[in-house]
């Protein structure tokens, strides 16, 4: 048989490789009672280093071919570095007669207090809850709050004064165009305050309708507002400026809130109308 094995090795042209080193380093228990040994298994031929306060005694050979040592010592926790299969140290932790690390290199671990839980998750959760509650209250308040009352509609006199003021501020209109636009403002005011359509009637018809409700002075003012374009058309520049000033006064006297409109009164026989162009000397 040996001759056959030698022949096979020679035929293959290979040398016999050495057997692998035995099993890894391990212990049977990590915690034993006082007086009991810890059984250390190491590869056969392993040289144990000095173990300080521990006493190592070779006991037997394990079933896996490892060398078994008994490790005995005083009660305490131990850390042992033993050479492994590849020569690198293998660190072992075990306790003899104690419940956890109270001596040796692990002694400091037993005195450490458990870490205090972080309060940030609670703080963040509380802040998020308060923000959500505030947002919900704001949303509910807006939903339950009655909508604001709409502003009162603009009165006819306020609207007419606003349109008149904007026209008087414009500098791009010719005097005739400005006078016509101002007359239209007064006509729309009459549309809003009278039961008859002033914009669809002639100046003579409007004056006829107003004759029963305006005093003679006011009726003259209405004639000037309705015929403003004719007054401006036949006037020179200086006279035009005076006509527009008179139209402003006429408009302010006639366009008033409903509570300030005067009832018809007797004719006092005086007219404040400006002289017609053909009457000026």
**pLDDT at residue 210, as a whole number:** 93
Task: Give domain status of residue 31, yes or no.
Answer: yes
pLDDT of 273 strictly over 50: no
Q: Tell me which of 165 and 267 has the higher pLDDT.
A: 165
pLDDT of 126 strictly over 60: yes
Task: Give domain status of residue 199, yes or no.
Answer: yes
CATH number at residue 99: 2.60.40
Residues 95 and 189 in one domain: no
pLDDT tens digits along 240-261: 899 999 999 999 999 988 777 6
Residues 102 and 193 in one domain: no
Q: What is the pTM of this model?
A: 0.44
Residues 252 and 183 in one domain: yes
Task: Give domain status of residue 223, yes or no.
Answer: yes
pLDDT of 195 strictly over 50: yes
pLDDT tens digits along 206-217: 999 999 889 999
Instruction: Please provide the average confidence, as pLDDT, over all residues in the chain.
Output: 78
Residues 6+ apart with CB under 8 A from 200: none
Task: Give domain status of residue 71, yes or no.
Answer: yes
pLDDT tens digits along 51-87: 777 888 887 777 777 788 888 888 888 888 888 777 7
Residues 275 and 161 in one domain: yes
Residues 6+ apart with CB under 8 A from 56: 40, 48, 69, 70, 71
Residue that is last in its domain, among 93, 111, 129: 111
pLDDT confidence tier of residue 272, bands split at 50, 70 and 90: very low
Containing domain of residue 64, as a range? 20-111
Residues 166 and 269 in one domain: yes
**pLDDT at residue 15, as a whole number:** 44
């Amino acid at each position: 048989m040996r001759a056959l094995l030698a022949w096979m090795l020679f035929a293959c042209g290979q040398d016999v490789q050495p057997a692998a080193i035995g099993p890894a380093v391990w212990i049977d228990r990590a915690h034993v009672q006082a007086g009991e040994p810890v059984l250390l298994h190491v590869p056969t031929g392993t040289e144990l280093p000095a173990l300080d306060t521990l006493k190592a005694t070779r006991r037997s050979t394990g079933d896996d071919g490892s060398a078994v040592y008994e490790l005995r010592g005083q009660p305490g926790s131990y850390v042992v570095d033993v050479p492994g299969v590849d020569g690198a140290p293998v660190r072992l932790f075990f306790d003899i007669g104690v419940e956890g690390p109270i001596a040796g290199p692990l002694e400091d671990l037993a005195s450490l207090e458990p870490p205090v839980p972080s309060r940030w998750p609670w703080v963040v959760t509380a802040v998020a809850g308060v923000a959500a509650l505030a947002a919900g209250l704001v949303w509910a308040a807006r939903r339950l709050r009655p909508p604001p009352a709409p502003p009162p509609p603009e009165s006819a006199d306020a609207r007419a004064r606003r349109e008149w003021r904007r026209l008087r501020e414009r500098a791009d209109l010719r005097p005739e165009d400005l006078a016509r636009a101002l007359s239209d403002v007064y006509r729309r005011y009459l549309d809003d305050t009278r039961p008859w359509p002033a914009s669809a009637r002639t100046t003579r018809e409007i004056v006829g309708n107003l004759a029963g409700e305006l005093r003679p002075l006011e009726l003259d003012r209405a004639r000037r507002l309705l015929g403003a374009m004719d007054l401006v058309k036949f006037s020179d520049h200086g006279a035009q400026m005076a006509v527009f000033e008179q139209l402003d006064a006429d408009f302010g006297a006639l366009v008033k809130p409903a509570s300030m409109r005067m009832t018809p009164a007797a004719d006092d026989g005086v007219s404040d109308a400006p002289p017609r162009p053909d009457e000026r000397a």
